[in-house]
Amino acid sequence: MSRKETILRAAKRTAEEVRAVTAKNRELKSRGNKNLGIKPHKHCLVCWKPIDMDYEDGICDSESCIKINEKRQKSRKRWEVLLYVFAGIFFISIIVQYVASGT
């Protein structure tokens, strides 16, 4: 077998591999645009189980998830109130110092 035949055979093999890879890439791109049979859904905010889009609050029907979510909501509201209270105290103290130093 001559050098020319060896190079020709290697070139043909490489061309076949490139064709196979590009065909596979085309197939993946076309498949990526399809839904693949998965219907639209969202996930529970606590346990991350898939739930229907109809659930407004984003929590599944599990009692433990409902209790955990209620506890989180109460904690979030408490922190929100504390944030406003401390910000109010801070600004009131600055205003009082400004007024007291101006007179």
Q: How confident is the model at residue 36, as a pLDDT?
A: 61
Mean pLDDT across 45-71: 91
Q: How does pLDDT run across 2-32, given as a tens digit for each residue?
A: 888 888 888 888 989 989 888 888 877 666 5
DSSP letter string, 58-97: S--S-HHHHHHHHHHHHHHHHHHHHHHHHHHHHHHHHHHH
Q: Which residue has the tokens 């409902």?
A: 66
In the chain, domain spans: 1-35
Q: Which residue has the tokens 């859904």?
A: 41
Predicted TM-score (pTM) above 0.85? no
Specify the DSSP class assigned to residue 72. H
DSSP letter string, 35-58: -TTPPP-EE-TTT--EE-TT-SSS
